[in-house]
Amino acid sequence: MSGTVLTDGTVRFEDSTEGAQVYGKGFFGTLTAGGGLLLDRYEAVYLAEMGRADLRGPTGRKVAWPTVFRRAVKSDLGFAVRYLVYRDLRQRGYVVRASPPPIAFTVLPRGGILHKTPSRYWVEAISERVPFDLARLFDLAERAQSAKKLLLLGLVDEESDLTYYRVRRPSPTGSLPSRALSTPAEGWLSEDRVTVHDSAVATELGKEQAYGSRVGDRLELSLLEAAYLCSVRQLTLRDSKSGRPVPLELLERRARRLDPLFFERLAAYRELRRRALVVKTGFKYGAHFRAYPRSPEHSHARYLVQAAPAAHVAPWPEVAGGVRVAQGVRKEFLVAGVRPDTQVRFLSLERIRP
């Protein structure tokens, strides 16, 4: 089957029979009013590479696959990376169609029929050299969920291997009942932690409400937990050296000097607690938090959570490592994007095989 390569890198089949044959085996191209078929760059390069189309120039001279590929790369910035994702999905048996921005492709479910079966996936193709852009991913995830599509990212590494991530906007929730203390607990601030010495209060806060860690009869709280409990008036603080009261503002200033992301971590912690989740440090997993649906004595952590500014930009390998660790310990990886007004949104990333 012979098609003509056009100047913009697309291919036209003038013969209606040949066009119908190409179209009928995988829904390649767009049928034209005159009975022909027009292939976009991805389709033309793929069919040429697979030996399923004999491509010729306007003079009738054969155009070799490398030439077709080079022309596409020259005329379309980022084509090489997107084509690797297109090619892989086609090899997996999917019907893939190029899409206008903000995504690269729409993909039908396996066995789907073009123009009859709704697309299942929105797929964006990204090089690992392109930074992880949290704001953009929030936008894509919200658009995809509004359109009732599954958003996939096809990450292409420097060796042209692919990793797929499903991205969505979750609503993490737990079931830990919230109970207020009859009187605020008294905590003693020393360097980077707070100690509650009253054993009865330590039991109520530590065992029943899952704050801090019990060490003997006392309760050790992180600065994050202490700041949260002070903000909801369940804790008052005194300095261990001077015995003087420590206002919340002073505690937060001290915490920010120790942790540049304290503002974001506190906002994420507060939101997770508001959603009735138990929140513990995720240090041993390389994350900010582990989040449990109820008491850690009766459940496993469901989420690993990383707090970040809403406009956070980072190298993809950092994010890929977090997702890999989370799935390795059977947890869901969440990024908590914190706006300047302390509003928090969650983004879930899950490595999948489409």
pLDDT at site 284: 95
294 three-class SS:
coil
Return the pLDDT at 53: 85
pLDDT of residue 1: 62
Are 192 and 315 contained in the same domain? Answer: yes
Does 177 fall in a domain?
A: no
What's the mean per-residue pLDDT of the chain?
94
Domain boundary, last residue among 75, 103, 122 = 75
Report the CATH number that the domain containing residue 120 is assigned in CATH.
3.40.1350.150
Q: Kindly state whether residues 225 and 336 are assigned to the same domain.
A: yes
The reply to whether 57 and 85 lie within a common domain is no
Query: pLDDT in tens for each of the 354 residues of the chain?
Result: 677 777 777 888 888 888 888 888 999 999 988 788 999 999 999 999 999 888 888 878 888 899 989 989 998 999 999 999 999 999 999 999 999 999 999 999 999 999 999 999 999 999 999 999 999 999 999 999 999 999 999 999 999 999 999 999 999 999 987 788 888 999 999 989 999 999 999 998 988 889 999 999 999 999 999 999 999 999 999 999 999 999 999 999 999 999 999 999 999 999 999 999 999 999 999 999 999 999 888 889 999 999 999 999 999 999 999 999 999 999 999 999 999 999 999 999 999 999
pLDDT in tens, 245-262: 999 999 999 999 999 999
In Å, how far are 9, 17, 96 from 65, measured between CA atoms? 12, 23, 20
Catalytic residue chosen out of the listed positions 149, 280, 312, 331: 331
Domain check: are 97 and 209 in the same one? Answer: no
- Closest to 350 (Cα-Cα) out of 327, 317, 321: 327
DSSP state of 299: -
Q: What is the pLDDT of residue 35?
A: 80
Q: Is residue 115 domain-shared with residue 195, that is, in the same domain?
A: no
Are residue 23 and residue 62 in the same domain, yes or no?
yes
Instruction: For the sheet with 96-98, list strands across it.
Output: 96-98, 105-107, 121-127, 150-156, 162-168, 344-352, 332-338, 303-309, 289-292, 278-281
SS3 163: strand
Whether 331 is a known active-site residue: answer yes
**176 located within any domain:** no
Q: Is residue 253 part of a domain?
A: yes
Short-list 146, 187, 193, CA closest to 169: 146
Choose the catalytic residue: 211, 285, 292, 303.
292
Q: Which residues contact 319 (CB under 8 A, 6 or more apart)?
A: 132, 335, 349
Q: Are 195 and 108 part of one and the same domain?
A: no
* 19 in a structural domain: yes
Structural domain range at position 233: 185-349
Tell me: do 226 and 318 sit in the same domain: yes
The structural domain count of the chain equals 3
pLDDT score for 303 = 98
We report the CATH number of the domain holding residue 256 as 3.40.1350.10
Maximum pairwise Cα distance, the chain: 91
Q: Which of 62, 74, 241, 300 is catalytic?
A: 300
Is 83 tagged catalytic?
A: no
What predicted TM-score, i.e. pTM, was given to this entire model? Answer: 0.92
Residues 197 and 339 in one domain: yes
CATH number of domain containing 9 = 3.40.1170.20
Q: What is the pLDDT of residues 183-227, one digit of tens each?
A: 899 999 998 999 999 999 999 898 888 999 999 999 999 999 999
Identify the domain boundary among 118, 135, 168.
Answer: 168
What pLDDT score does 224 carry?
96
Tokens of 129: 């050299």
Residues 255 and 297 in one domain: yes
- Within a domain: residue 23? yes
Does some domain include residue 226?
yes
Domain stop point among 20, 43, 75:
75
Residues 39, 142 share a domain = no
pLDDT value at residue 179: 82
Q: Is residue 41 part of a domain?
A: yes
Q: Is residue 178 part of a domain?
A: no
Distance between alpha carbon 30 and the CA centroid of its chain, in Å? Answer: 33
Annotated catalytic residue 121: no
305 and 323 belong to one structural domain: yes
